[in-house]
Structure 1
Amino acid sequence: MNAHSADLQPSSRLLRGVDFSSRPTRRKPIVVAEGHRQGGELHLLGLRHCNDESAFAAILAEPGPWLGGFDLPFGLPRELVETLGWPRDWPALMQHYTRLSRAQIRDTFAAFCAARPAGGKFAHRACDRPAGSSPSMKWVNPPVAYMLHAGIAALLAAGCELPGLHAGDPQRIALEAYPGLLARELIGRRSYKSDDPARQTPDRQAARAEIVDAIEAGRSRLALRLIINADQRRALLDDASGDALDAVLCLIQAAWAADRPGYGWPAAVDPLEGWILGA
C-alpha cells in the first residue's frame, strides 16, 4: 500500500460513497453520497446523480482531497486469472481486461464455469466470502464483472489512486466498498430494495427505515453516527431501488476506513484481488 495515500487527515478531505451502475441512465443513475466526518459523526452533505458516464467521469476528475468507497469490485480471483493465463500484475491485468468486450468477458467466464463441477462454478477472491459479496467474475444477477470492467476503466482514466493496486493522484483515493456487508449486519438477510416496481413493498421500506435508524444511532461495528436532516432521511426511505441508501452505506465504510492504517485492510492482501472495506 502506498504510504503517501494516508498522509491526509480525514477531516481535511471530502468523503464519498458511490453506488455504481455499469450502464447509468436517468432511471438508474450512479448515485454519489458526499459527507464530512467530525469525530464519531458523519455529516451527509448531499446526494449527486450521474445519468451517464461523462457525468461520473467529471466527478472523478474533481480536485481532491477526497476519498471514496465504490460499490464495484476492484480485482479478479487469482484462481481465475492463473487458469486463463492472463497477466498476474494488476495494472497489466486491468489493461487486458478493460480492452475486452462484454461479450468476450461473458463467453470466457462462461467457458471457465462450464469446465468446473456443480457447486464450484465460480472462482472467488479471498474477500468475497467474509464480505458476503458476489464473485467478481459473475456476469449476471448481479453483473459485477461488467461493473469491474466499466468502473475500473473510469477510475484509471481519471487518474485516481487505488491503494495497494495502482498509484495515481494521492488527493483522489478510491477504495472498494460493499453496502450489503453493512446492511446485513443491521437487518440480517431481509431485502430492503428492488428495481422492480412490483417488489417495492412496504416491508422493504420498513427494512430501509430500520437501517436508517441504526446508522443514525451509530449501531454498527463501524461506530459512526450518520447526521442527516429530514429531507435527506426521506430521500433514503423513498428511493425504493435502494441506490441512495447503498451510496450512504458506502460513504460510512469510506469514513470508517479513512483514519485507519492501511484503510483497515488485513496485513496481507493479494495484490491481484484487492480487498473490500470492513471485510
Structure 2
Amino acid sequence: MVGSLVNSSLVGCDFSSSPTSRKPIVLAHGARRGDVVALSSIEALPTLAAFGEWLRKPGPWVGGFDFPFGLPRELVEHLGWPLEWQACMAHYAGLSRDEIREIFRAFCDGRPAGGKFAHRAFDRRAGSSPSMKWVNPPVAWMLHAAVPLLLAAGVDLPGLRPGDPARVALEAYPGLLARELIGRRSYKSDDRARQTPDRLIARKDLLARLETGQTRLALRLKLTHPQRDALVDDASGDRIDAVLCLVQAAWAEREGPPGWGLPPDLDPLEGWIVSA
C-alpha cells in the first residue's frame, strides 16, 4: 500500500445538478487517522458556480463525489461519439439537455423492455443508476453539470485524466455503502410527507453502524454529539450522503496513489465508483 498525500484533507460531496439555497450541494469535510475518519464540518454550496470555485481552491484533498464521471461504453459506441474520455465529455457538455434527452430517448426506444438503458461495467455491482438516465434520478444531468467543472478546475481524475495531484477527485456512491450498513431500508426523502419515523430510525441505525465500523471498508466514523444530531435531523439525507462519500474517499486515501483503490482494468472511458 502506497502512502497517501501528506496532510491531505478529505471531502465527500452530495451533488445537485440544479442547486439552490434550499437544496444545495453539500460537502462533508474531514480527515483520517488510522482507521478512524473524523467529520470536521459540513459546507453548503447554493450554486454550481460556488462549487466550481471550491474545486479550484488549493489542496491537498482527496474527494468522493456523488455523480457519474462517465457514460456507458455501449452507448458511446452506438452513438459514434469520441471514445477518448475527455473528448467524449467535451462533446457531451456541448449538447443541451433537450438534445441529450432526445438522443437518449431514441436509443432507449430501440431496445427491448427491461434493457432500455446501457450500463457501465460496475453499475450492477454498485447498485447505481445508469449514468445515461435523465429521470428518477437525473444522473445524466448531474454528469452534464459537474464533469465540465472538474475539467475546468484541473483536478486529478485517476484512471480518466491526470491533473493536479494535490486535488484528487473520485466518483463515489453513497447508496453502495448505505446498503452495506442497513440493507435496502429507506433513510431519506425530499418529500415531507414521506419523512417518516421509520426513516428516522434508519438514519440512526446507519450512523451507529458507521461509527462502529461495520463495513468491509474497515473504517470508523467519529462524530460529536451535535454532528450526530444534525445528521439524524436532516430528513433529506443530503448530509448523511455527503458523509458516506467522505468515508469512501477515506478508504481510497488509505489505499493511496497511484491507484486509489481503483481496479487496474478500469475502463478509461467509463470510470469506476470507488470501493465498488
| The one of 61, 67, 72 aligned to 2:67 | 72
Residues 8-42 of structure 1 deviation map (CA, whole Å, 9 limit, x = unaligned):
63551010000000010011100000001000110
| The one of 112, 117, 129 aligned to 1:117 | 112
The one-letter code matched in structure 1 to 2:66 is D
Q: Which runs of 5 or more residues in structure 2 are unaligned?
A: none
User: Under a length normalisation based on structure 2, what TM-score does the superposition of the two structures give?
Assistant: 0.97
Distance 1:11 1:132 in 2: 33
TM superposition shift of 1:59: 1.4
Note if 1:245 corresponds to 2:240: yes
Aligned to 2:171: 176
Aligned to 1:97: 92
SS at match of 1:12: coil
| The one of 15, 19, 37 aligned to 1:24 | 19
| The one of 195, 202, 207 aligned to 1:207 | 202
| The one of 254, 268, 276 aligned to 1:271 | 268
1:206-225 mapped onto 2 (5 Å cutoff):
206-225=201-220
SS at match of 2:103: helix
| The one of 32, 53, 76 aligned to 1:37 | 32
Distance 1:73 1:227 in 2: 28
Distance 1:197 1:245 in 2: 17
Aligned to 1:3: none
Query: Retained in 1: the 8 A contact 2:27–2:43?
Result: yes
Query: Retained in 1: the 8 A contact 2:5–2:60?
Result: no
Tell me: CA distance 1:81–1:128, structure 2 relative to 1, closer, same or farther (3 Å).
same
Q: Which runs of 5 or more residues in structure 1 are unaligned?
A: 1-5
RMSD value, Cα:
1.2
TM superposition shift of 1:7: 7.5
TM superposition shift of 1:55: 1.6
Aligned to 2:8: 13
Query: Retained in 2: the 8 A contact 1:11–1:36?
Result: no
Question: In percent, how many aligned pairs have the same letter?
Answer: 64
Distance 1:58 1:88 in 2: 29
Aligned residue pairs total 274
